[in-house]
Structure 1
Amino acid sequence: MSSLEAIGILSIGEMGLGIAQLLIAHNYRVLTYASDRSEATQKRAWSAGIELRPSMQDLVDQSDVLLSIVPPRDARLTAERVIAASSARPAVRDTPLWYVDLNAVSPQTAREIETLFTAAGSHLRFIDGGIVGGPPRELPADESRDQPAWHCPSLLVSGPEKLPDDVLAQTLNIKHLADRIGVATGLKMCFASLTKGFFSLAIQSFTTAHALGVLPDLRALMEEYNPQALKMAERGVVGMPSKAYRWVGEMKEIGDTFREDGGFDSDLFYAVAQVYQSVADDPVLGLEKPGDRKRGQTVEDVVECLNKSLKVKTE
């Protein structure tokens, strides 16, 4: 039986919802605070059986562990809100609150947030983390299994603190990499640069080929010379519209990582951020939401939308 039974999640986006469903399936109590989020987010949480707490203070008081899964731009503010709530009534707790920051931020950002938690007191324990892979999903039933099985992303974590519960760590597929803050976020940044960085190249290449009237020819060449890259590019271009707004900040965090920890210039991934900003600003693609996709579900539709909106910008 897990000793950490009440898991708070901020917030219930596509990934947060998947992790919540995984935890609920394993009999955990899952909570969130969503009064400041959209009606769709609140409905999504309620429909999944997640407890909607009336305030951030109540969420902090009720949770054994808090998982922070927010857009990179909100990582520090979310941490500050949790620290403020926990510090307002530290006597309420007789055990520490474990805060697992799973946001796509640079190691430097993770180190800065960890400093805030250390200064707040021992009633808070900070774990640096990152997520690699898609949201958890239940696998089809199989007569050879007694229990439902799940496909889970890798939750990479690092730092001197570890969750004192192996059952929860195993359920969440947590992999502790090192005792230094920043290692997990750094690995996440390096991995994302090779996936989302590649997708940004595909977006530009496919859109430009469409404008030149040679998109079918480009895809035929890739099919002949690099079919695996073609499949990855097509999957990334079609999958990214509803996530582009989140990836803007993530690309900047990658640029910061490569500058601060790698010694490179950050301009490359700041430019990649602009590619995703163009998608987020698109009057059609920018309206797409995870789980409610209407447009951009084919490569042709993505590049057609982008070509039109980019032409308007340059006219």
Structure 2
Amino acid sequence: MPPPQTIAIIAAGAMGSAVAQRLINAGATRERARDAGMRDVPFPELTTRKDYLTTYNAAPVEARAESPIYVDCNAVSPETVKGIASLFADSDVRFIDACIIGWPPKDNYNPTFYAAAGRGDGAPLSKFAELRSNIGDASALKMSYAGIVKGLTGLFTTMILSAHAASPATADALLLELRHSQPALLDRLIRAIPDMLPKAYRWVDEMREISGFVGGPLGGIHEGMANLYERMVQSIAENGDDKRILEAFVEAARRETSE
């Protein structure tokens, strides 16, 4: 049996702390970290004390390296992650570009981790779904996937607010037509919008990373989504009209689909 390995999780938010707890049992705040069984360690000590360093989220991995490994799971563009990787170029720390598809682990559910180690043959981490490609490819996957999933939520949000701005009757008709002709989209909308509201502040920068990834005139699509989520952040803070319109639309949609 190989010796036990230690994983340091940097900036443990909802995903990082949940993964840490899953690792310990199978954050943004210290209280959340303590609840997950984590211990605070000063950043300068991490490279001398840990076998794996992970930022934002941790991956359940099997260690095979003698030197520390830095696994970056942030939702950033390939160019951004390549810039991060360059910071380790003259060190003995091995860099892995990774992304997470899914939600924080809970009960029997686990998200999927993808990793690209930069050697063209994938990362030798047995618990990952491996990308046999180069640094930047895992982040490109995240940008592509999030651009669809979170972009779709942004499209829902934009058109509901636009319909309501035309008139409440227009929004009511939109709901009825979605129920009649696009029930799958309506079901997704019912789940997606409430899930977005507490996370909108995080999605602003992510949309801008996606915009940079897409590039050119088409990059404006997700730049517009970033502006939308900025608007939602303000409305959520103020319990403004946008938030209340969306919540009312979702509640009405739930009533319609339950009948």
Q: Same fold (TM over 0.5)?
A: yes
Q: Which residue pairs with 1:146 in the alignment? A: none
- Aligned counterpart in structure 1 of residue 145 of structure 2, from 187, 191, 196: 191
- Aligned counterpart in structure 2 of residue 117 of structure 1, from 79, 88, 92: 88
Name the SS for the 1:51 alignment partner. coil
Structure 1 residues 186-225: aligned runs within 5 Å: 186-211=140-165, 212-214=167-169, 215-225=171-181
Q: Work out the CA distance in 2 between the residues paired with 1:56 and 1:302.
A: 43
- Aligned counterpart in structure 2 of residue 107 of structure 1, from 69, 74, 78: 78
Q: Which residue pairs with 2:12 in the alignment? A: 12
User: Which amino acid is the alignment partner of residue 136 of structure 2?
Assistant: G
Contact in 2 for aligned 1:69/1:103 (Cα 8 Å): yes
Q: Work out the CA distance in 2 between the residues paired with 1:301 and 1:61.
A: 53
Structure 1 residues 296-315: aligned runs within 5 Å: 299-300=247-248
Q: Work out the CA distance in 1 between the residues paired with 2:73 and 2:153.
A: 22
Contact in 2 for aligned 1:67/1:100 (Cα 8 Å): yes
Q: Which residue pairs with 1:157 in the alignment? A: 115
Check if 1:243 corresponds to 2:230: no
Q: Which residue pairs with 1:95 in the alignment? A: 66
User: Which amino acid is the alignment partner of residue 118 of structure 2?
Assistant: P
CA-CA distance at 1:155 after TM superposition: 0.8
Q: Which residue pairs with 2:256 in the alignment? A: none
- Aligned counterpart in structure 2 of residue 69 of structure 1, from 56, 61, 71: 56
Q: Work out the CA distance in 1 between the residues paired with 2:72 and 2:238.
A: 29
Q: Work out the CA distance in 1 between the residues paired with 2:197 and 2:7.
A: 30
Contact in 1 for aligned 2:117/2:134 (Cα 8 Å): yes
Q: Which residue pairs with 1:128 in the alignment? A: 97
Deviation readout 1:254-287 (Å, 9 max, x if unpaired): 111111xxx654222111100111112225378x
Query: What's the TM-score, normalizing by structure 2?
Result: 0.82
CA-CA distance at 1:99 after TM superposition: 0.6
Contact in 2 for aligned 1:157/1:176 (Cα 8 Å): yes
CA-CA distance at 1:205 after TM superposition: 1.5
Percent sequence identity is: 31
Q: CA 1:193 to 1:285, structure 2 compared with 1: closer, same or farther past 3 Å? A: farther
Contact in 2 for aligned 1:107/1:257 (Cα 8 Å): yes
Q: Work out the CA distance in 2 between the residues paired with 1:178 and 1:126.
A: 15
Deviation readout 1:75-127 (Å, 9 max, x if unpaired): xxxxxxxxxxxxxxxxxxx9311111101111111112112211x32x20000
Q: CA 1:68 to 1:192, structure 2 compared with 1: closer, same or farther past 3 Å? A: same
Q: Which residue pairs with 1:49 in the alignment? A: 37
Contact in 2 for aligned 1:252/1:273 (Cα 8 Å): yes
CA-CA distance at 1:58 after TM superposition: 2.7
Q: CA 1:133 to 1:283, structure 2 compared with 1: closer, same or farther past 3 Å? A: closer
Structure 1: runs of 5+ lacking an equivalent: 27-33, 71-93, 140-150, 287-294, 304-315
Q: CA 1:8 to 1:302, structure 2 compared with 1: closer, same or farther past 3 Å? A: farther
Contact in 2 for aligned 1:159/1:182 (Cα 8 Å): no
Contact in 2 for aligned 1:4/1:65 (Cα 8 Å): no
Q: CA 1:165 to 1:271, structure 2 compared with 1: closer, same or farther past 3 Å? A: closer
Structure 2: runs of 5+ lacking an equivalent: 58-64, 252-259
Q: Work out the CA distance in 2 between the residues paired with 1:152 and 1:285.
A: 34
CA-CA distance at 1:164 after TM superposition: 5.2
Check if 1:231 corresponds to 2:187: yes
Q: Which residue pairs with 2:235 in the alignment? A: 282
Q: CA 1:3 to 1:252, structure 2 compared with 1: closer, same or farther past 3 Å? A: farther
**Residues matched between the structures, number:** 237
User: Which amino acid is the alignment partner of residue 58 of structure 1?
Assistant: E
User: Which amino acid is the alignment partner of residue 35 of structure 2?
Assistant: S
Contact in 1 for aligned 2:17/2:33 (Cα 8 Å): yes
Q: CA 1:4 to 1:42, structure 2 compared with 1: closer, same or farther past 3 Å? A: same
CA-CA distance at 1:165 after TM superposition: 5.2
Q: Which residue pairs with 2:212 in the alignment? A: 256
Name the SS for the 1:100 alignment partner. strand
Q: Work out the CA distance in 1 between the residues paired with 2:88 and 2:173.
A: 54
Q: CA 1:244 to 1:42, structure 2 compared with 1: closer, same or farther past 3 Å? A: same
Check if 1:181 corresponds to 2:168: no
CA-CA distance at 1:69 after TM superposition: 1.3
